[in-house]
Structure 1
Amino acid sequence: MLHQIVDLLSGRKDDGERSKIKGKVVLMKKNVLDLNDLSASVVDRINELVGQKVALQLISSVNTDHSAASGSGSGSEDKLKGKVGKVAYLEKWVTTFTSLTPEDSTYDINFDWEEELGVPGAFIIKNSHHNEFYLKTLTLENVPGHGRIHFVCNSWVYPSDKYKTSRVFFSNQTYLPSETPDPLVYYREQELVNLRGNGSGQLEEWDRVYDYAHYNDLGNPDKGEDYVRPVLGGSSEYPYPRRGRTGRPPTKTDPNSESPIPLLLSLNIYVPRDERFGHLKMSDFLGYGLKSISQFLLPEFTDLCASTKNEFESFEDILQIYEGGLKLPDGPLLKSLYDNIPFEILKDLLPIDGEGLFKFPMPQIIQEDKSAWRKDEEFAREMIAGINPMIIRRLSEFPPTSNLDPKVYGDQTSAITHDHIVNQLDGLTLDEAINTNRLFILNHHDSLMPYIRRINTTTTKTYATRTLLFLEKDGRLKPLAIELSLPHPNGDQFGAISKVYTPAEDGVEGSLWQLAKAYVAVNDSGVHELISHWLHTHAVIEPFVIAANRQLSVLHPIYKLLHPHFRDTMNINAFARQILINAGGILEATVFPAKYSMELSAVMYKDWAFPEQALPVDLVKRGMAEEDSNSPHGVRLLIKDYPYAVDGLEIWSAIKTWVTDYCKFYYISDDTVQKDTELQSWWKELREKGHGDKKHEPWWPKMDTQKDLIESCTIIIWVASALHAATNFGQYPYAGYLPNRPTLSRRFMPEPGSPEYDELKTNPDKIFLRTITARLQTLIGIALIEILSRHSSDEIYLGQRDSPEWTKDAEPIQAFEKFGKKLGEIEKGIIEMNNDEKWNNRVGPVKVPYTLLFPTSEGEGITGKGIPNSVAI
């Protein structure tokens, strides 16, 4: 009887035959995901029939194979590898059929139970098929003495001959480096070595290498001087965050510039395959849509505008884009576009009917009222509740001064005087208005003035602007004055030539005021797209993605915390470098800095500081809040009805509470943080390589304390999720109607005595429309932001995970559930405030409620709400 009990506990059967560990593997076959390779399934079945199978081997987490030294130990002792079990194969691959829809395939696998294996902590997989597949999970159901073990993989597995080392996956157990079981240490370290690569060579789609490069792939000097762009990053003149290395060869003309990919291959730019969009996102047009604009819509729109006029004749003419549609010219490109669309969903997103009519959806900004966007109240409201509410600041001195070097730029002090505004301060003196925190400024002067002269040598004709505003007792902002400035015609050193405009409703003065607001909107649109959106979310986050994959194991708690917030970022940034921000790309064609767009972005990166990306810190820095230890968020807002800040602080605090709960579970003291070798390597590399041009800045947290860790992770999650959502998903609702947020100005302000000035008296709308974005650039811009404002059908929002078993530890799971519940409470609070009429700035004259920081969205498409986990579009 005792012998039978021993046999049972050891996993042996009475007949001496070893028992089995039953497992289930979930994966997605290539033919399901790639409609251009339907032969993949057939080829893989042939591989199976000739013995080329998918093999797995379990790796022990408790016992070491002393006969298999790794040869990579420190000092004289080689590290030992965990005991590796016998080979097992996925079963019934040949007889498991899948449809041509995105579905999982589940396969049984049975491992021989070996007593010396103990508890598996990892497994090796070898794919002997001809094609790759997407491995999702492995679940072991009956490990003797342990029970169930789950492995979350979520990775592409290519044929084994593509790899120099074995593919290894770990269970969902979380370990700090010092707590890693000895048998798994080698595998943990070797996986990171593989992900770092060797720093050389052109990377292929199956390579799993995360490495750094400068932004040296935006220009195409081989195409001519017009396509030369400076390298961004690696210099004091043009510092920049690093992007993922591709290793493409240099151009013939400039060895420092990387050669571009042909447009037809633009979606095949290298990023590690696990960073590429999933099948649903690709089929939802977020990749093909960008390509279609460049390849198909741009020439069609160009033909359309050439065959008619590149001007809108009236505001009613613009409304035809949404109400009646545009008749695209017949031609081979249009037929090619519609007949060769790779996914049916694209036909829905490019609504071209049988007669070639192209129609855009109606933007929210004009759904309720077609003219409310022109009101001063709405103009000011969007500075705190629009898509760029991160620029406005409290005015603390009058007149506004400049931080530009007077030796280079002369006197740049504002030309706005006491007389311009004194009668608009509700009876307050100027000093009283400043001292009671009632004056604010939207200041695009210093950031743009150094480039205005060069920008105005292109087709752009614009100004650097300052806008002064007054906070009324009901919480609304009232514009007081707009200053339009140009460099002195005799040279920068002579200062600025400025004109000031004040509010007016009627006559020529009213028309001039509308134009002045348009020039401000042009400035704000460009700064929003290039700085608030691209630089401050997309570009700055990419080094965090790269460094995490190079230095933090998938077993690491901080990797598990941050990984959802890195999804798709490298992929969308790679697409942008090929199609949007490249020389001659969509952004240069539609935004006022034109070919100086990215150069300007690099110059403004000089002012970026990581700790200041924390929302409370940013609000205090801009004078929009004061520190207050009695406040729930540690700050007190000076404009109580500041929708972005009100909702943002709620989201910020929820993220910080979640991060605190999570980090304190794994890091019981500051000493634990300091002794975490992977964490310290990550933080060092992030500063010294990822943001290498700022590595000497004293403001970087030292990562010595729990506080450093919690604050840094909170900032990363905030930037990747909420900050990006606030700047991105309102683009079509607010800017889909270009007169509200024009991206270009093509004429200067009409001067008295000119024909344009006289025409302001009879046809002010014509002058307005001739000044702002033209028809072609409008169509391209709207087509772009319609894509960028959409949620994909596989969106994962803040407070959600793609796998419920992302960690085995119960307390972090419970803390995450608490986080989700808190976000649900915040949603309810936003709804209540939007329905409360006392909050004037939450809806405004245009009747568009502020929902850009609403945590979830009711569905895919353009909803104007929802915070995805990551910078994914």
Structure 2
Amino acid sequence: MKLTGLADCVQPWTDFDCLHRVFNWCKNDASKYVYEHWREDAFFGSQYLSGLNPILIRRCTALPQHFPVTDEMVHLDLNGEMEKGNMFLCDYKLLDGVKTNVINGEHQYLTAPLVLLHKTPMDELKPVAIQLKQKPAEDNPIFLPSDREYDWLLAKTFVRSADFHDHELNVHLLRTHLLAEVFGVALLRNIPRVHPLYKLLIPHTRYTFAINTLARKQLISEDGVLTKYAAAGGEGMITILERALSSLTYRSLCLPEDIKDRGVESVPKYYYRDDGLRLWDIIHRFVSGILTNYYKSDSDVQKDSELQNFIKNVFENGFLSRKESGIPQSFSAVDELVKFVTMVIFTSSAQHSAVNNGQLDIGNWMPNFPPTLQRAPPTVKGRANENVFLQTLPDVNATVNILAILWLLSKQSTDFVYDFYFYHVPLGRYPEELFCEEVPHDLIKKFQEELKELGAAIGKRNANLDLPYTYLDPQLMENSVGI
């Protein structure tokens, strides 16, 4: 990374110029856009739609009692705007009370903010109120765009640090890497190689066990990078994962239902939703074609003991037998099987791509995605300035070590140089050709054609965007969680 010496530097950033020199080493068009616009409210809001964490935002139909925003504060008729569907809420309650880290001998800080956003007449999504802690109090003010520049910027930065943790531990690690491992282990334990489900799913497990083993060793172990340099490293990290798993639902893993449940069907410029729903439909048609070729009736599914053992293993060991999760305990119909397998493939390919591939784009300019903050969140307004802001940011070594991980995780596989069978495999490409019948071959060809058409449509749209959304382009995503 050509950052020799900085990885061990325990000094704070003294000015933005020094930080910018580190940023410059791997700047691309997307990260340059982030650097140029990170202070802007419209860009802050847009990251909930097309950034690394596009599954948190939900329509606000009534303000939570512990978030006492008034019309006078935001200069809006809140009830009227909520009725029109123009108000949205992002709630980081998952992080509330989490024990935080000590880095370079200094106590670190992590908040559990509430963020109220408004869709403007110009179809921009802008934050209008931020409360950094869950419980309202005199020392927990509601920050507003009308506040002084650094009061408002500091509040948004604490939100972005909270988003780092919700993204990396919940949205990224748990909901893609660890779930993909659950599905892969259950597949290998219960489904023989000649089974059509094995042939359909095994390409979507490629490298998953290996990359997760490395993640356990290098990221979340006692000496892991996240453990050492993130605000919630160590005990706090486990708390977040436990809470996230306890609230995980099947509906939230199925994109059409998740979009509906969050009430975000009509939010403009929500490219994650637009591309994701089209991709979900393409995968669903492909999976339906393959499985209905082998399962002619619901009774065929019910009688398949290997298939039933597979889903039982997922429910018991992956979701800890939590009935409230909604995960099937058995399959009684072909449609149920098709939906579940669609979710598995979508999670292992598209969802991972959406929350993984842009990490360097979004996080290269660290103030937009800080892994930790080392001054307490502000309890009063009017005291923040540039110096306070810089002192709040993580030290140089924390910045650089996390940046190295974001760089690594954003890279595509490059081992094609060494072995023909192990190279970057885009979604829908199956070089091993496990199916030998004509019908699956035809379905795979049709699947590839539809993915290509979607990629072309995404490219055409992106040509007119200042910041293209590429993370759900099928040609740029892998078949599996492989990095």
TM-score when scaled to structure 1? 0.52
For 2:207 and 2:323, locate their aligned partners in 1 and report how far apart those are by CA, in whole Å: 26
1:542-584 CA deviation, whole Å, 9 max, x = no partner?
A: 1211111111111000111111111111111111111111123
Equivalences for residues 324-723 of structure 1 within 5 A: 360-368=25-33, 370-398=35-63, 400-401=64-65, 413-421=66-74, 423=75, 425=76, 429-444=77-92, 446-451=93-98, 454-455=99-100, 459-485=107-133, 498-504=140-146, 509-595=148-234, 596-624=236-264, 637-694=265-322, 699-700=327-328, 702-723=330-351
For 2:255 and 2:34, locate their aligned partners in 1 and report how far apart those are by CA, in whole Å: 33
* Larger Rg computed on CA atoms: 1
Pick one of 830, 849, 856 that aligns with 2:468. Answer: 849
Cα pair distance change 1:516/1:544, threshold 3 Å: same
Deviation at 1:302, TM superposition (A): 4.8
Pick one of 429, 437, 444 that aligns with 1:800. Answer: 429
Could you say which structure has the higher strand fraction?
Answer: 1
Contact 2:132 2:377 in 1 (8 A): no
What code does the residue aligned with 1:872 have? G
Aligned counterpart, 1:734: 362
What code does the residue aligned with 1:397 have? A
Aligned length: 471
Question: Sequence identity, in percent?
Answer: 29
Structure 1 stretches of 5 or more lacking a match? 1-292, 324-359, 402-412, 489-494, 625-636, 837-842, 857-865
Contact 1:640 1:646 in 2 (8 A): no
What code does the residue aligned with 1:442 have? C
Could you say which structure has the higher helix fraction?
Answer: 2
1:237-275 CA deviation, whole Å, 9 max, x = no partner?
A: xxxxxxxxxxxxxxxxxxxxxxxxxxxxxxxxxxxxxxx
For 1:697 and 1:393, locate their aligned partners in 2 and report how far apart those are by CA, in whole Å: 20
Contact 1:581 1:588 in 2 (8 A): yes
2:13 maps to 1:312? yes
Q: Which of the pair has the greater relative contact order for Cα pairs under 8 Å at 6+ separation?
A: 2
Contact 2:110 2:232 in 1 (8 A): no
* SS across alignment from 1:745: coil
Equivalences for residues 178-197 of structure 1 within 5 A: none
For 2:253 and 2:217, locate their aligned partners in 1 and report how far apart those are by CA, in whole Å: 28
Cα pair distance change 1:514/1:435, threshold 3 Å: same
* SS across alignment from 1:713: helix
Cα pair distance change 1:439/1:780, threshold 3 Å: same
Cα pair distance change 1:438/1:369, threshold 3 Å: closer
What code does the residue aligned with 1:623 have? G
Contact 2:12 2:395 in 1 (8 A): yes
* SS across alignment from 1:594: coil
Contact 2:139 2:379 in 1 (8 A): no
Cα pair distance change 1:560/1:780, threshold 3 Å: same
Deviation at 1:322, TM superposition (A): 4.2
What code does the residue aligned with 1:378 have? F
Contact 1:365 1:373 in 2 (8 A): no
Deviation at 1:611, TM superposition (A): 3.6
For 1:570 and 1:297, locate their aligned partners in 2 and report how far apart those are by CA, in whole Å: 30
TM-score when scaled to structure 2? 0.92
Aligned counterpart, 2:392: 771
Cα pair distance change 1:516/1:752, threshold 3 Å: closer
1:705-743 CA deviation, whole Å, 9 max, x = no partner?
A: 011110000000010000000000000011111111112
* SS across alignment from 1:485: coil
Equivalences for residues 94-113 of structure 1 within 5 A: none
For 2:170 and 2:478, locate their aligned partners in 1 and report how far apart those are by CA, in whole Å: 20
1:32-53 CA deviation, whole Å, 9 max, x = no partner?
A: xxxxxxxxxxxxxxxxxxxxxx
Cα pair distance change 1:714/1:698, threshold 3 Å: closer
Contact 2:249 2:327 in 1 (8 A): yes
For 1:364 and 1:602, locate their aligned partners in 2 and report how far apart those are by CA, in whole Å: 37
For 1:461 and 1:715, locate their aligned partners in 2 and report how far apart those are by CA, in whole Å: 36
Aligned counterpart, 2:419: none
For 1:538 and 1:557, locate their aligned partners in 2 and report how far apart those are by CA, in whole Å: 24
Deviation at 1:697, TM superposition (A): 5.2
Cα pair distance change 1:497/1:666, threshold 3 Å: farther
* SS across alignment from 1:383: helix
1:178-237 CA deviation, whole Å, 9 max, x = no partner?
A: xxxxxxxxxxxxxxxxxxxxxxxxxxxxxxxxxxxxxxxxxxxxxxxxxxxxxxxxxxxx
For 1:511 and 1:612, locate their aligned partners in 2 and report how far apart those are by CA, in whole Å: 36
Deviation at 1:450, TM superposition (A): 3.4
For 2:45 and 2:324, locate their aligned partners in 1 and report how far apart those are by CA, in whole Å: 39
Contact 2:302 2:331 in 1 (8 A): yes
Deviation at 1:693, TM superposition (A): 4.5
